[in-house]
Structure 1
Amino acid sequence: MQTKKYTRLMLASTLVLAAHAGWASDEGTLTMGTSVNYSSGKYGTQTSTDITSIPLNVAYDKGPWTFKVSVPYIRITGPSDVVVGVGKTSATTSTVRTASGLGDVVTAATYNFYNNAEAQFGADVTGKIKFGTADSAKGLGTGENDYSVILDVYKKVNQLTFFGGIGYTALGSSAAIPLRNVFSLTAGSVFKMDEKNNAGFAYDYRQKSSATSAAQSELTAFYVHKFDKSWKTQTYLLKGFSDGSPDWGAGVSVGYAF
């Protein structure tokens, strides 16, 4: 199961790729924002699990570098053996619970190591750490740190930017929630409608992380509107195609660039 905070980080990266025909300003740009994200899915159980995520997102761009931090509030209602970020963690039937609190804090650093303006082609590498700050007893997370490395490439053709990526995550495992390391794939495109509007889609796949969970497979469609040089909003709809992903999800975010 991929929580909405991870999906939002992915989409933020996607939009950076779409706008990365040139590097960010050498003076640096600080962006702050928040979002409301909701998803619902059964994850291989008989009962739906509903997850709401409201993160505070901070990003700083300078030259070829982008740094990000996400601190989410999480609320989950569903079977107690469905854990945010993992999915079903046992083969037995569990009771339904509602829990809320601080989610996992996620930090990421992206370096645009190749940028060919003439060919309209570029490549980024990202290192990401998910800190196990969420309460594992409530099922808000695993309580362990995860470490990821992601390679993204992108190609601009007229108004379209095509992108793809491959990632590897070392998931924090414990006796209570034994997990295995996983590969992930991303592909999609962004269409620049005009100077203020962009729309696109992204498909994400991730290997199953445990014996009781399932692989993640989901498609996200999104729309971005820039009000001016500072304010930007984004909406999205998500459809899952496996027991490792929510059946559906939706959200809206807003960001301000200083």
Structure 2
Amino acid sequence: MRFRTKALALLLVCQPALASTPWTLGNLPSYYSGTFGTKHTIGILYDPTYLQYQNPVLRLKLTIPYISVSNLPRGAKLTNGTLATRSKGTGTTSASGLGDIWLAGHYTLIPERGLRPAIVPYAKIKFGTASASEGLGTGRNDYEVGLGLNTTIGSNFFPFAHVGYRFVGSPPGQALQNIATYDAGVSVAATARDIFTVMYSGEQSEQAGYAGPADAIIAWNYNVTAAGSGFQVYIDKGLSSGSANIGGGVGGQVVF
């Protein structure tokens, strides 16, 4: 499972392009439990705060997370919501602290028109700010480039899909591999305030010999204001041994 960049993306998919109110400040505490391909049941609290700027063609987002992990196998390292490396050592540990900071940019190269979806290339940087010695991160930067497609069907259905490629930084003594990332889903506006999203998300494993994360997500956004301020609830079900078994979160955002 990817550390909640995908859950944060649900908030952004459900928001309109707001030229008059371009700033969003949000927080989405989440908790996940599963083995992630190890012999231990690992618990991860991921609490990201993000600031976003958006106009009709450009979206920039900075995410600063807090992480707390329990029962992590000694020697294992987290990355982006799953395990970058597993360890054959004995014993487990717990740790908390600053996670990896993310900076992402999306640019609408070709706008939606008729049956043609909007074509939105993107780039992301993961700064290796999480402690590698405590297993909260790899201590290395990652870089991702990709392409998003989104469109509107009628006035209530908003399908979307993304595919990307991540250049993964390896910690000393490791040989992590670059990976493909992908997701697809649809948001449905049941009312002017209630928006429901179903989504599949996956990626390859950074560590050879293990299954990559794959997840099914159901989310509900409720917009308190017409600008998009509101809250979100979501549930995440892991579909592979590389994901948490179950997870979810409750958070919100203020658009100003």
Q: After TM superposition, is the score higher than 0.5?
A: yes
Contact 1:130 1:147 in 2 (8 A): yes
Is residue 84 of structure 1 aligned with residue 83 of structure 2? no
Q: Between 136-145 and 156-165, report the one with greater CA deviation.
A: 156-165
Structure 2 gap ranges (5+): none
SS for the counterpart of 1:9 is helix
User: Aligned pair 1:191/2:185, yes or no?
Assistant: no
The CA distance in 2 between the partners of 1:24 and 1:245, in whole Å, is 34
- Which amino acid in 2 is paired with 1:187? A
Q: Deviations over 1:75-130 (max 9, x none)?
A: 00122244222516245143111100000000001101111344473121111000
Instruction: Output aligned runs, 1:46-195, within 5 Å.
Output: 46-78=39-71, 79-85=73-79, 86-87=82-83, 89-90=85-86, 92-119=88-115, 121-158=117-154, 159-195=156-192
Structure 1 runs (4+) deviating above 3 angstroms are 117-120
8 Å CA contact 2:78, 2:84 repeated in 1: no
Return the alpha-carbon distance in structure 2 between the equivalents of residues 163 and 116 of structure 1.
12
Letter in 2 for 1:169: R
| Aligned-residue offset at 1:13 | 4.1
- Partner SS, residue 84 of structure 1: strand
Distance 2:181 2:10 in 1: 15
CA distance in 2, matches of 1:202, 1:10: 11
Q: Using the TM superposition, give the Cα deviation of residue 164 of structure 1 relative to its aligned residue in structure 2, in angstroms.
A: 1.3
Q: Work out which of the residue numbers 23, 36, 49 in structure 1 matches 2:29.
A: 36
Contact 2:10 2:197 survives alignment (8 Å): no
TM-score normalized by structure 1? 0.91
Q: Deviations over 1:106-156 (max 9, x none)?
A: 000110111134447312111100000000111111100000012111221
Deviations along 1:167-226, whole A, 9 cap, x unmatched? 100011122332110011111111111111100111011111112542111111100000
- Given that 1:142 and 1:177 are in contact with CA atoms closer than 8 Å, whether structure 2 keeps it comes out as no
Maintained 8 Å contact 1:229/1:257:
no
Q: Distance in 1 between matches of 2:36 and 2:245?
A: 8
Shift of 1:46: 1.9
How many aligned positions are there?
251
Percentage identity across paired residues of the two chains: 27
Q: Does 1:235 align with 2:233?
A: yes
CA distance in 2, matches of 1:81, 1:39: 20
Contact (CA 8 Å) 2:112, 2:119: kept in 1 or not?
Answer: no
Amino acid across the alignment from 1:95: G
CA contact (8 A) 2:123 2:146 kept: yes
Work out the CA distance in 2 between the residues paired with 1:185 and 1:56: 23
Distance between the aligned counterparts of 1:45 and 1:122, measured in 2?
40
The CA distance in 1 between the partners of 2:178 and 2:251, in whole Å, is 30
RMSD of equivalent CA atoms:
1.8
Inter-CA distance 177–13: structure 2 relative to 1 (3 Å threshold): farther
SS, match of residue 8 in structure 1: helix
The answer (yes or no) to whether the contact 2:74–2:89 under 8 Å persists in 1 is no
Q: Normalised by the size of structure 2, how large is the TM-score?
A: 0.91
Q: What amino acid does structure 2 have at the position aligned with 1:226?
A: N
Aligned residue runs from structure 1 range 13-32, under 5 A:
13-16=12-15, 19=16, 23-25=17-19, 27=20, 29-32=22-25
C-alpha distance in structure 2 between counterparts of 1:116 and 1:91, whole Å: 46
Structure 1 counterpart of 2:150, one-letter code: Y
Q: For the Cα contact (< 8 Å) 2:122–2:147, is it kept in 1?
A: yes
